[in-house]
């Protein structure tokens, strides 16, 4: 480097320092900012409650594969406070601030994991959705989201502008991966739990260290904290180093994975172009040091040894063991290739829509069953008490205060639908309905037959095997015919019957007491009455 270049660099550096001092450092009330950071990052009941609520909503959104619900969880997440406090503590070399922020983060993570595990265990939806699987492997884009969120969070905190909105971005990078960790723990799926935990820690460290960089840029340093002893300063530097190492490893892994995926894509594209075909689908899986490639090529004709050529080229480029699973789709011309490509895309879209519809239908069915059960339980509580029998059937004992007639109780059992096979309604003890006949008739009409059926049903529910049937009529013969008709209908229903008739004196008294209709009625009683 020449002398003039060196002078030019020194001049630019002095200009930057003056600009930083005038435009960034002097306009900031550092004491007020630090006080605000300590208040926002403290561990308290509100912080714990909002952590539990946010992670609970995020877990439900992940299980339903609902982006809207996941976004709702981001709006109430309080994770920005302790992370900003951690980054500011590293910038100012304040051991007490670092210790408090780490304690708040540890408590928040523990509470979030507990609620996520509990929700997944009791949930009927436990299949991994696209939103869950998307958070099991950190990518370069995830890391960039975390870095930009941390930079924005630090800027918003220092300038005291837009902190709430930036908190949503920080929660986007942290709360869903944390909920996926709880999902993996609940289902004892270590692969999902470990991948999501790695993504969570990578994003957390990226955000915290981004905050540290911005805070140092705005002039925050050791002068803004109580004077540290040598061992305290060394401890803080050690913490900073420990936080930086995992992030560096994550960056290395992400860069390595990105390079491998790009290399695989280049090799497969080149081989497909050489064969005058196109790549339809390509998936790359890393199993330790081994690379597994699963690809679908659209080719005009079968190409011999194409798979072996891909394996050889990839081994030379990557220096790793490579396995290629090649699927060939033979096409006739370019138009056919285009049609097949479009059909595959539409098929994938249809499958995704079908899976979403099935999940929504399952969730709707579960809600409907639960609602029906709540309504049924509320009805039972109002009408009487329910008893579960040894064979699994249920028996509903109706309370007399419910005021249900025999006909209403019989209708209640019939209206249970399929449950009527397992639900037995026992009506409250009351008089049997009187069976009415037309003048000078001993034939049961439709209404009379229904009353006999209800009476037989009630007798069976009360464990009464026989009834006393008393007939009435203008003559003894007519009264006997009416009583016999009712007794015959009862026997057809499985209930025994003893027949008698009202004599002339009893009939006149009944008519005087109940009116002329008493001469057309058949009454039912238990043998003891």
CATH number of 229-330: 3.30.70.2210
In the predicted model, is pLDDT for residue 53 greater than 70? yes
Residue 152 CA, chain-centre distance (Å), reads: 31
Helix, strand, coil percentages, rounded to 5, for the chain: 70, 10, 20
Lowest average pLDDT, out of 349-363, 451-465, 475-489, 508-522, goes to 508-522
In the predicted model, is pLDDT for residue 181 greater than 60? yes
For residue 397, the cross-strand partners are 385, 426
- pLDDT (0 to 100) of residue 182: 92
10-49: per-residue pLDDT in tens?
Answer: 666 666 666 666 556 666 666 777 777 777 767 788 888 9
86-116: per-residue pLDDT in tens?
Answer: 888 877 777 788 888 888 889 999 999 999 9
Q: Please state the φ and ψ torsions of residue 513, each to the nearest 5 degrees.
A: -85, -40
- pLDDT (0 to 100) of residue 114: 93
DSSP per position, 78-134: -THHHHHHHHHHHHHT-HHHHHHHHHHHHHHHHHHHHHHHHHHHH-S--SPPHHHHT
Which residues, 6+ apart, have CB-to-CB distance to 308 below 8 Å?
none
In the predicted model, is pLDDT for residue 382 greater than 80? no
- pLDDT (0 to 100) of residue 332: 56
Which residues, 6+ apart, have CB-to-CB distance to 258 below 8 Å?
139, 140
- pLDDT (0 to 100) of residue 235: 53
Does an H or E element contain 284, and which?
strand 278-287
Task: Give the integer Cα–Cα distance in Å for 359 and 347.
Answer: 18
In the predicted model, is pLDDT for residue 4 greater than 50? no
For residue 298, the cross-strand partners are 278, 329
Query: What are the sequence ranges of the domains in the chain?
Result: 10-223, 229-330, 378-426, 435-525
Task: Give the integer Cα–Cα distance in Å for 212 and 91.
Answer: 5
Helix (H, G, I), strand (E, B) or coil at 403: coil
318-346: per-residue pLDDT in tens?
Answer: 778 888 877 777 765 555 556 666 777 77
Instruction: Please give the C-alpha separations between residue 20 and each of 14, 210, 215, in angstroms, as whole numbers.
Output: 10, 18, 12
Cβ atoms of residues 115 and 62 within 8 Å: no
State whether the Cα torsion 90-91-94-97 is positive or negative. negative
Task: Report which DSSP code applies to 219.
Answer: T
Average pLDDT of the residues in 362-387: 68
Task: Give the integer Cα–Cα distance in Å for 346 and 336.
Answer: 15
Structure tokens of 172?
């986007």
Lowest average pLDDT, out of 133-142, 378-387, 452-461, goes to 378-387
Superfamily per CATH, domain 435-525: OmpA-like domain (3.30.1330.60)
In the predicted model, is pLDDT for residue 130 greater than 80? yes
Angle at 55 between CA 52 and CA 57, to 5 degrees: 105
Helix (H, G, I), strand (E, B) or coil at 387: strand
- pLDDT (0 to 100) of residue 3: 47
Task: Identify the CA nearest to 115 among candidates 186, 47, 202, 173.
Answer: 186
């Amino acid at each position: 480097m020449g002398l003039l270049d060196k002078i030019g660099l020194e001049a630019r550096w002095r200009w930057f320092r003056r600009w930083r001092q005038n435009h960034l450092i002097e306009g900031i009330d550092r004491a007020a900012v630090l006080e605000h950071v300590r208040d926002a990052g403290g561990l308290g009941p509100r912080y714990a409650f909002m952590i539990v609520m946010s992670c609970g909503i995020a877990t439900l959104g992940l299980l339903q594969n609902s982006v809207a619900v996941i976004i709702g969880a981001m709006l109430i997440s309080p994770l920005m406070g302790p992370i900003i406090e951690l980054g500011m503590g590293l910038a100012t070399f304040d051991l007490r601030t670092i210790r408090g922020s780490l304690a708040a983060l540890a408590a928040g993570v523990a509470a979030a994991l507990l609620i996520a595990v509990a929700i997944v265990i009791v949930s009927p939806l436990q299949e991994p959705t696209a939103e869950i699987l998307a958070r099991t492997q950190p990518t370069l884009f995830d890391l960039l989201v975390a870095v930009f969120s941390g930079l924005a969070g630090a800027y918003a905190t220092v300038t005291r502008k837009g902190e709430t909105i930036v908190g949503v971005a920080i929660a986007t990078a942290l709360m869903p991966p944390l909920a996926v960790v709880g999902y993996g723990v609940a289902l004892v799926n270590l692969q999902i739990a470990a991948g999501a935990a790695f993504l969570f820690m990578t994003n957390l460290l990226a955000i915290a260290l981004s905050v540290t960089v911005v805070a140092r840029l705005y002039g925050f340093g050791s002068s803004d904290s109580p004077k540290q002893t040598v061992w305290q300063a060394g401890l803080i530097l050690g913490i900073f180093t420990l936080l930086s190492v995992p992030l560096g490893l994550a960056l290395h892994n992400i860069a390595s994975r990105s390079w491998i995926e790009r290399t695989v894509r280049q090799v497969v594209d080149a081989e497909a172009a050489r064969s005058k075909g196109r790549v339809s689908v390509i998936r790359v899986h890393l199993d330790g040091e081994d690379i597994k490639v699963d690809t679908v090529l659209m080719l005009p004709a079968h190409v011999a040894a194409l798979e072996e050529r891909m394996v050889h080229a990839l081994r030379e480029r990557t220096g790793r063991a490579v396995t290629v699973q090649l699927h060939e789709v033979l096409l006739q011309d370019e138009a056919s290739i285009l049609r097949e490509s479009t059909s595959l895309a539409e098929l994938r879209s249809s499958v995704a829509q079908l899976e979403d519809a099935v999940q929504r239908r399952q969730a709707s069915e579960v809600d409907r069953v639960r609602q029906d059960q709540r309504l049924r339980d509320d009805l039972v509580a109002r009408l009487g008490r329910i008893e579960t029998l040894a064979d699994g059937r249920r028996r509903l004992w109706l309370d007399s205060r419910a005021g249900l007639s025999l006909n209403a109780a019989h209708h209640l059992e019939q209206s249970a639908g399929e449950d009527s096979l397992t639900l037995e309604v026992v009506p409250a003890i009351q008089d049997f309905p009187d069976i009415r006949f037309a003048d000078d008739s001993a034939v049961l009409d439709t209404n009379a037959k229904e009353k006999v059926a209800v009476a037989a049903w009630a007798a069976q529910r009360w464990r009464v095997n026989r009834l006393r049937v008393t007939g009435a009529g203008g003559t003894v013969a007519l009264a006997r015919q009416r009583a016999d008709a009712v007794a015959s209908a009862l026997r057809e229903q499985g209930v025994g019957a003893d027949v008698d008739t009202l004599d002339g004196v009893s009939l006149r008294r009944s008519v005087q007491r109940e009116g002329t209709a008493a001469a057309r009625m058949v009454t039912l009683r238990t043998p003891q009455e």
